Amino acid sequence: MKFHEYNISEEIKKNIAKLGYKKPTDIQFKSIPAILKGEDVLAIAQTGTGKTAAFAIPILNTLQKRKIKGRPDGVKCLVMTPTHELALQTEEVFKTLGKHTPITSFSIHGGVDQDPQKEKLNKGVDVLVATPGRLFDLVSQGALDLKRVEILVLDEADHMLDLGFIKDIRDLMRHLPKKRQTLFFSATINEKIKKLAYSLVTNAIRIQVSPKDPVAKNIDHAVAFIEMDDKRFFLENMIRNNPESKLLIFVRTKVRAERVKKALDRVDLVSDTIHSDKLQNEREATMNNFRSGLLKVLIATDVSARGVDIPNVDFVINYDLPDSSENYVHRVGRTGRGDQKGKAISFCSTEEKEILEIIEQNLGKPVQRMEISNNQYQHTLEISKEKLPDWRALMNEPVKKKKR
């Protein structure tokens, strides 16, 4: 799709052409239609991917369409950015793409005199690009009213959190209308970012991704749909079918880790766990055994295995799906280190399908499906040592006398 095929104003199209942009970048291709429709968007995009134009183009078009001539009535779009430089850069993009439209753009940031900024704001600005500190200052002085904001953009949200702007952002939210379109851009996604995003975005979120595949090419990763209560039988099966392989199994909590170990104990399979309830020296000993290959099956929580470099892990098994795509990438990255090949399989129950969807959206593509036929599924349950009838016990059982 080329830019001239988009449903945007002729003025904006001309400005895009003047910049020499021929076709949209990935992030633009994915975000522009959603933003034009008025949807809330959560986009994972690094600087350099064309993300500024990805929000500036549709915002300018929307505001141009809504603009009532000769009525400067307050800021319509607020773009929050973490730094002075980025604020200026973003203002420039809005100005360039908005040439010959009636939309005015302006940026404010700390470190300079406030008065000229106030003066300019009084004259009416449609798009305001601001760093959170200065913005909060002006709002608390009553110099800036945000009641008419229709579109809010949080650009480089992860960077803003790193710079400690979270409180300013939260305080500012009280000054914004609840009904608005919110666009959230971040280069990374983690629990904190997700929490912030979900607290700001009210409508359904579209998650876009940076084009780079965060999972290394030498890792084959797939998902198998297995119900929660059946997972232990599939794990047992995998361990039995790969007796020489090193398996790293991820679970959500330390309690789950111990439970999975007990399930494996019941079917006479040796494993060990590592999590934060274990003593440091116990953990080290377990890790050493796993590293040397003495221990073949290790059950771990996300935190306990973060950053650990273990050679020759043949399989990573996500016994529980991770709670974020960041953790997914981190977990599967425990196999296929360096130039080795690795395999990762996620056991996904019906309840976890929603998490899988989010992970896939963030990865930018679906995770390969591992087909399990009904017969195979049933067979795996039936051949479990836990399910096999214990013939000896049955033989020893006293024969019940029939009641007359």
> From the CB of 149, what's the least distance to ligand AMP, in Å?
22
Using CA atoms, how far residue 202 sits from 78, 93, 179, 181, 205, in Å, is 17, 27, 9, 9, 8
| Six token digits for residue 107 | 């940026």
Please tell me the distance from the alpha carbon of residue 357 to that of residue 140, in angstroms, as a whole number.
41
8 interacts with ligand AMP by CB under 6 A: no
Pick 53 or 329: Cβ nearer ligand AMP: 53
Instruction: Select the span of 22-30, 100-108, 239-247, 318-326 touching ligand AMP (CB under 6 A).
Output: 22-30
Cβ atoms within 10 A of the Cβ of 34, count?
A: 17
> From the CB of 170, what's the least distance to ligand AMP, in Å?
26
Pick 43 or 332: Cβ nearer ligand AMP: 43
> From the CB of 2, what's the least distance to ligand AMP, in Å?
10
What is the size of the binding site for ligand AMP (CB under 6 A)? 11
* CA angle, residues 343, 348, 349, in degrees to nearest 5: 160
Strand 219-225 and strand 342-348: the pairing is parallel
> From the CB of 19, what's the least distance to ligand AMP, in Å?
6
> From the CB of 52, what's the least distance to ligand AMP, in Å?
3
> From the CB of 380, what's the least distance to ligand AMP, in Å?
47
Instruction: Select the span of 21-29, 67-75, 259-267, 286-294 touching ligand AMP (CB under 6 A).
Output: 21-29
DSSP one-letter string for 5-23: GSS--HHHHHHHHHHT--S
Among 21, 29, 225, 377, binds ligand AMP (CB under 6 A): 21
Instruction: Select the span of 17-25, 229-237, 246-254, 373-381 touching ligand AMP (CB under 6 A).
Output: 17-25
For ligand AMP, what does the binding mask look like between residues 48 and 87, x meaning CB under 6 A?
A: xxxxxx----------------------------------
Residue 212: burial class (beta carbons within 10 Å; 0-12, 13-18, 19+): exposed
> H/E element holding 225?
strand 219-225
Q: Which of residues 24-53 bind ligand AMP (CB under 6 A)?
A: 24-25, 28, 47-53
Pick 49 or 271: Cβ nearer ligand AMP: 49
Query: In 333-389, at which residue ranges do the beta strands (DSSP E only) sit?
Result: 342-348, 368-369
- Measured between its terminal Cα atoms, the distance across the chain in Å is 83
Judge whether 347 and 232 are in contact, CB under 8 Å.
Answer: no
> From the CB of 27, what's the least distance to ligand AMP, in Å?
8
- Nearby residues of 216 by Cβ (< 8 Å), 6 or more positions away: 333, 336
By CB under 6 A, name the binding residues for ligand AMP.
Answer: 21, 24-25, 28, 47-53
